[in-house]
Structure 1
Amino acid sequence: MREQKHTISVLVNNQPGVLQRVAGMFGRRGYNIESITVGESEEKGLSRMIIVTSGDEHTLEQIEKQLYKLIDVIKVIDLSSNPMVARELALIKVGANASERSEILGVVETFRAAVVDVGMNTMIVQVVGDSAKIDAMVELLKPYGVKELSRTGVTAMIRGLQPKI
């Protein structure tokens, strides 16, 4: 079986400790969380977790079964098995002396990103897109000196009018 990335949507009760229990289950079972985002859902009292992990189909099946054993888990869906929209936001602080700023702005424009702060010797760039886009932008900014990088993690939805998750 081939290992691949999976994006999983987990609908949970919005209760203290639920995130800890979900993350703990992954750790106890030896599954890695590459990214996790959590926020309120469209339904009052419920939160949605978007978890990116890697594994083959058997691993994904085991993750789903283990998640359903947790009391506050309502619904688990493998988003990556459907056409989906996935986005991530990153803030990248890059070294930027006066002579390099126009080059950096060229990279920013190419990626449809935005400069959100300019300091004496740095710039903070905001970029939104899929993880590959953000990885590519970071690579192009490395020669200028990436001083700090903060990424939100992936959030995702199934495209079109799919049944509610």
Structure 2
Amino acid sequence: MKHTLSVLVEDEAGVLTRIAGLFARRGFNIESLAVGPTAKPGISRITMVVPGDERIIEQIIKQLYKLINVLKVQDLTNKPCVERELMLLKVNATSSNRSEVLEIVQIFRARVVDVAEDSVIVEVVGDPGKMVAIIRVLSKFGIREMARTGKISLARESGVNTEYLKSLQQKVEMP
């Protein structure tokens, strides 16, 4: 199972290297990694997606807390949270299929950020499921290049679990 970990760290040189070293020494893999500043100066948030069972994740969290610059570690996997990712896709878009590509881009609420004679670059922001879905749909035109950020995530203070609400809505809509 994949787990999303949110790690608050002191914003100092070498922190990310120490965390990556910890994972390498233990033989753990990091599937996705995003690092950025927080609202508090001097503190950064590292969001990582890590495969492993509960025992492995518990071990990773304990090891992270042993690092000097680590302030807080949260496993957001089973908590209500907001998840986003950014992706740029360069898609074949000739005069014969450009309108169909643009229609799909609109359906996914993505944006065209560059247009060339035979391609477009599309910016997509959303949850990881949206990324998979648009890749699947646009792949029939030919995806030339792709760049994705790592997943970022914040726990919902409201406690509202949108996945739970979606499942309730589907039950109501189905007769």
Query: Cα deviations across residues 36-91 of structure 1 (Å, max 9, x unaligned)?
Result: 11011111111110111111100110010110111111111111231001000100
2:72 is aligned to 75
- Choose which of 17, 22, 36 in structure 1 pairs with 2:14: 17
> How many residue pairs align between the two structures?
159
2:42 is aligned to 45
Are 1:147 and 2:144 an aligned pair?
yes
- Secondary structure at the counterpart of residue 94 of structure 1: strand
2:158 and 2:11 map into 1 onto residues whose CA distance is 25
Letter in 2 for 1:47: S
Alignment of structure 1 residues 15-164 onto 2, 5 Å: 15-160=12-157
1:161 shift after superposition = 5.1
**TM superposition outliers: structure 1 runs of 4+ over 6 Å:** none
Query: RMSD in angstroms over aligned alpha carbons?
Result: 1.1
- Secondary structure at the counterpart of residue 33 of structure 1: coil
1:69 and 1:81 map into 2 onto residues whose CA distance is 24
Letter in 1 for 2:98: R
2:163 is aligned to none
The TM-score, its normalising length taken from structure 1, stands at 0.92
- Secondary structure at the counterpart of residue 19 of structure 1: helix
1:159 shift after superposition = 0.7
Letter in 2 for 1:52: V
- Secondary structure at the counterpart of residue 31 of structure 2: strand
Identity of aligned residues (%): 52
Letter in 2 for 1:112: R
The TM-score, its normalising length taken from structure 2, stands at 0.87
Letter in 2 for 1:124: I
2:171 is aligned to none
